[in-house]
Amino acid sequence: MTQENRVLIFDTTLRDGEQSPGATMSHAEKLEIAQMLDEMGVDIIEAGFPIASEGDFAAVSEIAKQTQNAQICGLARAQFPDIDRCWEAVKHARRPRIHTFIGTSPLHRAIPNLDKDQMAERIHATVTHARNLCDNVQWSPMDATRTEHDYLCRVVEIAIKAGATTINIPDTVGYTAPRESADLIRMLLERVPGADEVIFATHCHNDLGMATANALAAVEAGARQIECTINGLGERAGNTALEEVVMAMRVRHDIMPYDTGIDTTKIIGISRRVAAVSGFPVQYNKAIVGKNAFLHESGIHQDGVLKNVETFEIMRPADIGLNETNIAMGKHSGRAALRAKLRDLGYEVGDNQLKDIFVRFKALADRKKEVYDDDIVALMQDSAANTGDDHIQVKHLRVVCGSDGQSADLTLIVGGEERKVQATGDGPVDACFNAVKQIFPHQARLKLYQVHAVTEGTDAQATVSVRMEEDGRIVNGQAADTDTILASVKAYVGALNHLIMRRAQAGTDGRQISMYSH
Ligand code: KIV
Ligand code: ZN
C-alpha cells in the first residue's frame, strides 16, 4: 500500500446518519457504535454536532474520551460559539478534529443573507478561530456541487490559507453525477493554490442513487477521504454507504487501486447493530449487507455456485464477516454453541449480554421446532431494541379475538409502577394499542405499522416495526416474537420509549437546530 493510494474513511453515522428523522440513538448506543467503528478501523468518526443539544455534546465528549485509535470529529457551523463548543467536546480525544461548514451556493448564501465578500470574510475568521484551538481542522462549503466554480475556488483557497487541513466537498442535495464529481475535485486540485497540501474529501448524498459512484469518482480524481455512513443511513435517501465504497475498492482493486484501513469482516456486525439501534432496517436487496446479497435461489445460479463459487459470486460472505455456519440450533443447544453461532453471524457479545440472549433463545427454542439463523438475528435485534432499562415495559398481555369482537388485557410497568387495563378495538392490534394508550396517554400519531415474517412456517417469528410522530419528532420501535400481537405491542411500547427519550431532549434538540450560520 502506498501512502498516495490510501483513502481515509470518515464515518458520519453518528452525525449525518443520526440526523435522519427517526434515527435517534441513545447515549449508550452512540458509545457502542463509536467503539465498533473504531474497532473496524475507521480513520475519523464524526461523533455529533456538539452545539445542537446537551445530549450531542455529552456523546461527542464521551466518545472522544473512550476512543483508542480513530480521530474524533465534531461538527460546527461558521460561528465562534459553535466552534468553541465543538472544541470543548472533542478536545479530550487523542486526535481531535473540528469540522466547520457554511453553505456557499447562491441558494445557501441567501439564507444568512451574506454577500460573497461577507461570506469569504466569515470563512477566514471562523477557520482561523478553529485552527487556533485545534491543529486538525476540516472545512466544508455546504452545497459545493451547486456553487459557482470561481467562488468555490476562492473560498477553498481562503480556508486553506486560514489553516484548514482537510477540505470536504459536499454534494448536499445528492445532485451531482460521477463524471461531474470527478471533474470538480480535479478542477479544485488544479486551480486552488495550496490544494496539494491538504486532503480533499468527498461527501455525497444518495438522492439520485449515485452516492457511491460519485464518491468513488471523486477518489479517482484525487480525493483521499470518503465521508460515509453504515448502511448508507442519513437524511432523505441517505449518504454514501461505507460498506459499498470499501468493498468496491477491495473487490475492484484492479481498476480502483485504493486501500483503506477497514477490517471488512466487521461489516455485517456493525450493519446489523446500526439497523437495530436506528430503527432503519436494511432493505433485502441492499448491496453488500442486504439479507439477499449472497443468496442464490434460482436453479441456474445454485448450480453454478456449487460447481465454482466464482461463477456468480464476486466476493465471499466471509469477507464481510458472514461465516458459513454448520451449527444447527435448537432447545438442546448450550451457551457455547450460541456464542459460536453469534460469532458466525457477525455478533461479538460479552458474558452479560450472552446470558440475556441465552434466556431469550431458550424461550424461543421452546416455542419453535427449528431456530434458524434469521431467528437469531431477529432475537438480537429485539434484545437491542427492547432493553430491561426502558421506562415502559410489557409485563403481561392476553388478547381475545374472533367473530365476537376483540379485547386486550394489558399490564405495563411504567417508571417502575405496574398498571393494568382492559381495552377493545377494531381488531386485536387496535385493541392492544388502545390499551397502551389508556395506560400511557399521548398525542403521537402512528405513521407506520409493518409486520414481516422472519422465516417460513406458521411458527415463524414476526418482526414488527412501528413509527410514530409527535410535534415533528419521529420515533421508531421494533420487536420480534412468534406471537405477532405481542411483537406489535412491544414495538409500539419501544417507539413510546424512544419518544420519552426525545421529549427529554426537547428544547435543545439537534433536529430543530438550523444548519445556517446567521
Ligand atoms: O451534506 C452536507 O452538506 C453536510 C455538511 C454539514 C458537511 O452534511
Ligand atoms: Zn451531509
- Provide Rg for the chain, Cα atoms: 24
Position 509 scores a pLDDT of 47
The pLDDT confidence band at residue 1, using thresholds 50, 70 and 90, is low
| Superfamily per CATH, domain 3-278 | Aldolase class I (3.20.20.70)
Lowest mean pLDDT among 64-68, 112-116, 386-390, 506-510: 506-510
Question: What length does the chain have?
Answer: 518
* pLDDT greater than 60 at residue 298: no
* pLDDT greater than 60 at residue 173: yes
The pLDDT confidence band at residue 328, using thresholds 50, 70 and 90, is confident
Residue nearest to atom 1 of ligand 1 (CA): 172
- Please give the share of the chain, as a percent, with pLDDT higher than 70: 94
Q: What are the φ/ψ torsions at residue 116 (nearest 5 degrees)?
A: -60, -40
CA pair distance 81, 97, nearest whole angstrom: 16
Q: For residue 80, what are the contacts with CB-CB under 8 A and spacing of at least 6?
A: 126, 129
C-alpha of residue 319 to centroid of ligand 1, in Å: 31
The pLDDT confidence band at residue 459, using thresholds 50, 70 and 90, is confident
- Residue of 140, 143, 225 to mutate, ligand 1, most atoms within 8 A of C-beta: 140
Position 510 scores a pLDDT of 43
The position carrying cell 438522492 is 207
CA end-to-end distance (rounded Å), the chain: 44
Residue nearest to atom 8 of ligand 1 (CA): 16
- Please give the share of the chain, as a percent, with pLDDT higher than 90: 69
* pLDDT greater than 80 at residue 387: no
C-alpha of residue 404 to centroid of ligand 1, in Å: 55
C-alpha of residue 229 to centroid of ligand 2, in Å: 10
Q: Which CATH class is domain 392-508?
A: alpha beta
Q: Give the closest residue to 469 by CA, choosing from 491, 490, 446, 486.
A: 446
The pLDDT confidence band at residue 455, using thresholds 50, 70 and 90, is confident
* pLDDT greater than 90 at residue 180: yes
CA pair distance 327, 320, nearest whole angstrom: 19
Mean pLDDT score of the chain: 91
What does the CA dihedral 179, 183, 186, 191 come to, rounded to 10 degrees?
180
Position 301 scores a pLDDT of 59
The pLDDT confidence band at residue 209, using thresholds 50, 70 and 90, is very high
* pLDDT greater than 60 at residue 297: no
User: 128-166, pLDDT tens digit by residue?
Assistant: 999 999 999 999 999 999 999 999 999 999 999 999 999
Q: How many C-beta atoms lie closer than 10 Å to residue 460's C-beta? A: 18
DSSP at 395:
E
Residue 126 C-alpha cell reads as 471562523
> Is 166 a pocket residue for ligand 1 (Cβ < 6 Å)?
no
* pLDDT greater than 60 at residue 511: no
pTM: 0.86
Mean pLDDT of 123-129: 98
Burial code (b: 16+ CB inside 10 Å, e: under 16) for 15-31 equals: bbbbbbebbbbbeebbb
Contact 345, 376 (CB under 8 A): yes
Mean pLDDT of 45-54: 96
Kindly list the protein residues that place their beta carbon closer than 5 angstroms to ligand 2, a single-atom ion.
Answer: 16
Query: Can you say whether the dihedral through the CA atoms of 34, 37, 43, 48 is positive or negative?
Result: negative
CA distances from residue 443 to 21, 88, 415, 469, 502 in whole angstroms, order as listed: 18, 37, 19, 9, 14
The pLDDT confidence band at residue 292, using thresholds 50, 70 and 90, is confident
Residue 200 vs residue 385, higher pLDDT: 200
171: left (phi over 0), alpha (psi -120 to 50) or beta: beta
The pLDDT confidence band at residue 299, using thresholds 50, 70 and 90, is low
* pLDDT greater than 90 at residue 124: yes
Residue 382 vs residue 186, higher pLDDT: 186
Position 43 scores a pLDDT of 98
Burial code (b: 16+ CB inside 10 Å, e: under 16) for 271-291 equals: bbbbbbbbbbbbeeebebbee
User: 65-110, pLDDT tens digit by residue?
Assistant: 999 999 999 999 999 999 999 999 999 999 999 999 999 999 999 9
Residue nearest to atom 2 of ligand 1 (CA): 172
Mean pLDDT of 24-33: 89
